[in-house]
Amino acid sequence: MLKQFKKILFGLYSLRNRFLKPKEFDGVKILLYHDIEHELFKGHVEYLNSNYQIITLDEMLRNFSAGIKLKNTFVITFDDGIKENFQLLKTIIRHQIKPTIFITTGLINTNKRFWFNGLCQKSLIDLLSCSNSNRLKIINNESEYVGERDALNQFEVDQMKKFVDFQPHTISHPSLVQCSDDELENEIVSSCEAVECITGEAPHSFAPPFGIYDDRVISILRKQNIKCSLSLNPGVNFSNDNLFDLKRIGVPKSCDINEFIVRIDGVWDKIRTLPFLKNFSSFYKQYYE
């Protein structure tokens, strides 16, 4: 049902864009990718370059700090730092964009898998609801989380770092609100230090795993001189917004140009809150529906 509904919706909306110019807006929209097929990403970037302005996350922060009002502007971000991101480097260089990739530093250059890969929605939510120490006990079977690597390796990071803005996303991708104070500080501080070793510069931004955070997280980020933190809440960002709760628009892996336009225009985020769709629009599926 959901797939059929989306197909009709995206098709109808694409007809609108054939006759009307792309939708203008005030502020900055930050896109959130995890994994995206290369040809689709190329199409997304070409569409944005033809109709809007793409800037870096750091440029957005500097403009906001100066009180400059932006419009029709996009920032591109990725979470996790998965190995498939390396396949996008050619398009990144060709179109002279500099996306931010928030990397899970403890998985870089290892054969570890992300602990949440393959989990059903219920299992993920259950694990995110228990203390971090209990979660680690439950997933302690290392053989299940070591194998073919999920994350970028050192060669790929070295090749990308001139063209990509690497920023911290913790060491092991836990739910930060379930961490003890010591665990929390280690996850944030050590990932910031690891990113600085990669880039040679102190990090300026952070993305909490699963978009989950509390006041303790923000306090540590401020002590690390982090300027902003990015959420999973959809919407547009303005210079007077809370920089530690920046909004992002999620883009799933198999997102063709019609669906992409519907998402960046904010149409899908409004429609999926309708009562008859709520059962399909869960926390887990938020960026993959």
Instruction: List the beta strands (DSSP E) in the chain.
Output: 28-33, 53-54, 73-80, 100-103, 165-168, 205-206, 228-229, 249-250
* Residues 108-149 pLDDT 10s: 999 999 999 888 888 888 999 999 999 999 887 655 566 789
Q: Can you tell me whether residue 127 is helix, strand or coil?
A: helix
What is the structure's pLDDT at 105? 98
Spatial distance between the Cα atoms of 42 and 28, rounded to a whole number of angstroms:
21
The proportion of the chain whose per-residue pLDDT surpasses 70, expressed as a percent, equals 92
* Residues 176-197 pLDDT 10s: 999 999 999 999 999 999 999 9
Tracing tokens 């964009």 back to the chain, one arrives at 97
What is the structure's pLDDT at 6? 78
Tracing tokens 């991101």 back to the chain, one arrives at 85
Spatial distance between the Cα atoms of 175 and 182, rounded to a whole number of angstroms:
14
What is each CA distance from 65 to 22, 113, 238, in whole angstroms?
28, 38, 11
Does pLDDT of 73 surpass 80? yes
Spatial distance between the Cα atoms of 258 and 173, rounded to a whole number of angstroms:
32
CA-wise closest residue to 156 among 196, 197, 108, 194 = 108
Instruction: List the beta strands (DSSP E) in 62-177.
Output: 73-80, 100-103, 165-168
Q: Can you tell me whether residue 155 is helix, strand or coil?
A: helix
Domains plus CATH for the chain? 2-280 (3.20.20.370)
Does pLDDT of 11 surpass 90? no
Spatial distance between the Cα atoms of 164 and 156, rounded to a whole number of angstroms:
11
Residues 6+ apart with CB under 8 A from 279: none
What is the structure's pLDDT at 289? 36
Half-sphere exposure in the Cβ direction for 61 (13 Å, CA): 16
**228-229 and 205-206: which strand pairing?**
parallel
Does pLDDT of 285 surpass 50? no
Angle at 39 between CA 206 and CA 250, to 5 degrees: 35
Instruction: Quote the pTM value.
Output: 0.93
Spatial distance between the Cα atoms of 13 and 7, rounded to a whole number of angstroms:
10
